[in-house]
């Protein structure tokens, strides 16, 4: 994983800027607890915080290798290249030698062999920067689905970059400022990530599947990958077999590490399938982990979470013969650690959903450096209501926004007029639809399902991957997401929705009777107990403790009574008070106790974040 940062300027001499690059690097110390390194030349300064996973002794960064004319080429890299062994063999056959076993050296050598075209050969999760001293050229690259983050900003005649906004904001010429467009991004589309948007003024996030080349003539960002629309003519049985083969290869690649490895096991089909495949191939001691938060008083009363995870997770662990641990998070921890989630994200987030994940990852990190997750299976295989329920699918905006109030309902009128949230949402939705690859001759229903998949892949998934990265990196844990392999995305983008639910039939046999994620259940069903294969989806654990909601409510009321609270530079104090004191049914989201907690925690985080930034009209 790690944290990367750097500063390149074609007109300044940066050799005396060691304190600046060191300061930027150290903001990301939690991402890389094992080592710190910097590298400076006349026009480039790189920093790196290392989480050692592959070749613990030999993989230190920034890493250099002589390029054309004997001038150095340097890399700072976060992530994992899962096909690095195949690439190393190919490079050796081309005449290159290696002094380490690390994937970093393979990546650097691949640049020397193929230049920026190396990106088409990579399988993995990655964000990296390469400075070519001879060409005086900077290359920034981000993986295809955006598993690893990478931000950049222009500073004078140069550019700064980093894994997180906090690294860039540590540069003396960048300020923590947000403009009206940034506010609109936060308040109009809080559950969707607009690719490239970083919220902070002057800052951008490199889009997934894109690279940026910068030299003295300017910066050029270009796309090197996207899914393509193709007909899928395979029946259910053949499709499941091909998915199983693909998943087997993915997990085989992702269990490689020189440090302890575990899995995040909730007892659902997603994490259980990954755990079972990993247990079948992993040669070391594999452990599994889940998280428990305060549950409702009546079991089964939570529609989003009809069954607890622990019995199912333990069933899988016992069947596979691996250890299982449950990380308990109480209401006090969820409240007291709100700021931890905010610091990790650099932006207002998802309240206890962030904090409980932070605690889970901290518990895992006590024993493991790497953990495999079932994240992204819902996006790939169709596990959400908004992918299958026609009310959501037919919604005239992002399908997950059907029936939801957004935070903008509480805005002061002058702020609402300035940021125009409805217009902002509509513009982002049109942009997203324009990106969807089309298949000639496809009917309207098929076209809409393709749109819904692509919206989830490019907008919804980014928010979840960002949350996973920030909470795991806050404790120095590398979380790998096998279901976010780009090859699986390419395949499933073209599989019809009725095959994903098992409702379709083919010459090879029938599907799974219309159950969500039927393809995944059938593809991995032989690895797991029937109770797991047939268990309905149960959402990530979130607190349903009435005491948690009451505590949040008290904290928000204290904020309302604070005449200097920065929240009310944006929000209407009377509307917020009415929403909080009238049963919470005016807070953003569907009207449930769960959404009340999300809305309350969002207000608290927004207030605390606004105290650290300057809003610029």
Distances (CA, A) of 203 to 154, 169, 336, 348: 8, 10, 30, 17
pLDDT for 303: 62
What is the tens place of the pLDDT at every residue in 141-163? 999 999 999 999 999 999 999 99
Three-class DSSP category at 590: coil
Pairing mode, if any, of strands 210-215 and 137-142?
antiparallel
**Could you please report the per-residue DSSP string of 401-456?**
GTT---GGGGB-HHHHHHH-HHHHHHHHHHHHHHTS---TT--HHHHHHHHHHHHI
Q: Which residue has the higher pLDDT, 165 or 408?
A: 165
Which among 219, 122, 202 is positioned nearest to 168, based on CA atoms? 202
The rounded distance, in Å, linking the Cα atoms of 349 and 171 is: 24
pLDDT for 581: 83
The rounded distance, in Å, linking the Cα atoms of 65 and 67 is: 6
Which among 85, 501, 403 is positioned nearest to 253, based on CA atoms? 85
Q: Reply yes or no on whether the pLDDT at 451 is more than 90.
A: yes
Q: Reply yes or no on whether the pLDDT at 585 is more than 60.
A: no
Which pTM value belongs to this model?
0.95
- Are 265 and 317 within 8 A, CB to CB? yes
The rounded distance, in Å, linking the Cα atoms of 429 and 414 is: 24
The rounded distance, in Å, linking the Cα atoms of 325 and 314 is: 9
| Percent of the chain topping pLDDT 70 | 94
- Are 369 and 51 within 8 A, CB to CB? yes
Q: Reply yes or no on whether the pLDDT at 48 is more than 60.
A: yes
Work out the angle between the directed axes of helices 593-610 and 573-581 (0-180°, nearest 10).
Answer: 150
**Strands of 166-305, DSSP E:** 177-178, 203-205, 210-215, 218-223, 261-264, 287-292
pLDDT for 513: 52
pLDDT for 542: 76
The conformation of residue 34, written as its DSSP 8-state character, comes to S
- Asked if omega into 62 is within 30° of 0 (cis), the reply is yes
The rounded distance, in Å, linking the Cα atoms of 382 and 388 is: 7
Tell me the three-class secondary structure of 490-505, residue by residue. HHHCCCCHHHHCCCCE
The rounded distance, in Å, linking the Cα atoms of 607 and 118 is: 44
Work out the average pLDDT over 456-483: 97
Task: Identify the weakest region by mean pLDDT among 167-181, 283-297, 405-419.
Answer: 283-297
Q: Model confidence at 61, in pLDDT bands (50, 70, 90)?
A: very high
What is the tens place of the pLDDT at every residue in 423-438? 999 999 999 999 999 9
Three-class DSSP category at 202: coil
β-strand partners of 66: 72
The rounded distance, in Å, linking the Cα atoms of 533 and 516 is: 11
Residue found under tokens 């710190």: 36
pLDDT for 512: 43
The rounded distance, in Å, linking the Cα atoms of 559 and 68 is: 60
What is the tens place of the pLDDT at every residue in 221-249? 999 999 999 999 999 999 999 999 999 99
- Residues with catalytic annotation? 2
Distances (CA, A) of 513 to 446, 505, 518: 20, 10, 8
Mention every residue, 6+ apart, whose C-beta is less than 8 A from residue 536: 306, 307, 516
- Asked if omega into 156 is within 30° of 0 (cis), the reply is no
The rounded mean pLDDT for the chain is: 92
- Are 333 and 355 within 8 A, CB to CB? yes
Chain-centroid distance, C-alpha 477:
14
pLDDT for 507: 34
Which among 101, 100, 99, 109 is positioned nearest to 74, based on CA atoms? 109
Task: Identify the weakest region by mean pLDDT among 226-230, 377-381, 479-483, 548-552.
Answer: 548-552
Q: Model confidence at 442, in pLDDT bands (50, 70, 90)?
A: very high
Three-class DSSP category at 164: coil
Q: Reply yes or no on whether the pLDDT at 359 is more than 70.
A: yes
Mention every residue, 6+ apart, whose C-beta is less than 8 A from residue 23: 170
What is the tens place of the pLDDT at every residue in 292-331? 988 655 555 556 667 888 999 999 999 999 999 999 999 8
Three-class DSSP category at 72: strand
The conformation of residue 540, written as its DSSP 8-state character, comes to P
What is the tens place of the pLDDT at every residue in 169-220? 999 999 999 999 999 999 998 878 899 999 999 999 999 999 999 999 999 9
pLDDT for 355: 93
Q: Which residue has the higher pLDDT, 403 or 94?
A: 94
β-strand partners of 74: 64, 131
Work out the average pLDDT over 538-560: 87
What is the tens place of the pLDDT at every residue in 497-523? 989 988 754 433 334 456 889 999 999
Three-class DSSP category at 323: strand
322 is written with which tokens? 């691996």
What is the tens place of the pLDDT at every residue in 245-279? 999 999 999 999 999 999 999 999 999 999 999 99
pLDDT for 1: 67
β-strand partners of 7: 45, 160
């Amino acid at each position: 994983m790690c944290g990367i940062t750097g500063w390149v300027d074609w007109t300044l001499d940066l050799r005396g800027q060691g304190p600046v690059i060191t300061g930027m690097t150290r903001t990301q110390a939690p991402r890389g607890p094992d080592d710190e390194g910097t590298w400076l030349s006349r026009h480039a300064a790189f920093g790196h915080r290392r989480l050692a996973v592959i070749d613990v002794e030999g993989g230190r960064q920034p890493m250099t290798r002589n390029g054309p004319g004997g001038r150095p080429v340097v890399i700072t890299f976060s992530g994992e290249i899962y096909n690095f062994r195949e690439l190393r063999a190919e490079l050796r056959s081309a005449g290159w030698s290696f002094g380490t076993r690390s994937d970093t050296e393979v990546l650097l050598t691949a640049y020397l062999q193929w230049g920026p075209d190396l990106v088409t050969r990579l399988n993995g999760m990655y964000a990296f920067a390469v400075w070519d001293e001879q060409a005086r050229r900077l290359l920034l690259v981000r993986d295809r689905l955006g598993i690893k983050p990478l931000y950049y900003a222009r500073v004078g005649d140069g550019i700064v970059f980093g894994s997180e906004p906090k690294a860039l904001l540590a540069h003396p010429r960048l300020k923590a400022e947000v403009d009206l467009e940034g506010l609109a991004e936060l308040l109009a589309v809080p559950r969707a990530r607009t690719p490239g948007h970083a919220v902070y003024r002057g800052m951008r996030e490199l889009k997934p599947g894109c690279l940026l080349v910068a030299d003295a003539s300017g910066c050029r960002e270009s796309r090197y990958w996207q899914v393509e629309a193709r007909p899928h003519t395979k029946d259910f049985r053949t499709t499941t077999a091909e998915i199983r083969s693909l998943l087997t290869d993915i997990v085989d690649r992702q269990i490689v590490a020189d440090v302890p490895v575990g899995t995040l096991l909730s007892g659902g089909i997603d994490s259980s399938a990954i755990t079972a495949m990993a247990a079948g191939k992993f040669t070391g001691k594999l452990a599994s982990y889940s998280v428990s938060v305060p549950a409702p008083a009546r079991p089964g009363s939570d529609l989003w979470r009809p069954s607890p995870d622990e019995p199912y997770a333990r069933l899988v662990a016992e069947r596979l013969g691996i250890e299982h641990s449950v990380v308990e998070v109480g209401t006090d921890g969820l409240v007291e650690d709100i700021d931890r989630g905010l610091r990790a994200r650099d932006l207002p987030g998802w309240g206890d959903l962030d904090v409980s994940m932070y605690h889970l990852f901290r518990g895992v990190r006590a024993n493991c450096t790497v953990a495999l997750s079932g994240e992204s299976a819902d996006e790939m295989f169709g596990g959400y209501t908004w992918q299958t329920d026609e009310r959501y699918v037919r919604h005239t905006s992002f399908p997950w926004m059907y029936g939801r109030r957004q935070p903008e309902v509480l805005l002061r009128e002058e702020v609402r007029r300035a940021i125009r949230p409805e217009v902002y949402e509509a513009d982002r939705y049109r942009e997203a639809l324009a990106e969807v690859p089309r298949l000639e001759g496809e009917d309207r229903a098929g076209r809409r399902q393709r749109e819904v998949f692509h919206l989830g892949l490019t907008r919804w998934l980014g928010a979840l991957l960002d949350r996973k990265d920030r909470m795991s990196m806050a404790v120095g844990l590398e979380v790998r997401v096998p279901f976010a392999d780009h090859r699986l995305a390419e395949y499933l983008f073209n599989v019809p929705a009725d095959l994903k639910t098992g409702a379709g039939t083919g010459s090879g046999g029938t599907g799974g009777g219309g159950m969500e994620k039927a393809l995944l259940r059938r593809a991995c069903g032989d690895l797991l107990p029937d109770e797991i294969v047939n268990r309905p989806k149960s959402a990530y654990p979130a607190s349903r403790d009435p005491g948690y909601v009451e505590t949040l409510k008290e904290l928000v009321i204290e904020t309302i009574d604070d005449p200097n609270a920065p929240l009310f530079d944006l929000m209407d104090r009377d509307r917020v008070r009415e929403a909080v004191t009238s049963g919470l049914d005016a807070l953003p989201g569907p009207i449930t106790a769960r959404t009340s907690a999300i809305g309350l925690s969002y207000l608290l985080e927004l207030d605390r974040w606004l105290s650290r930034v300057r809003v610029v009209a």
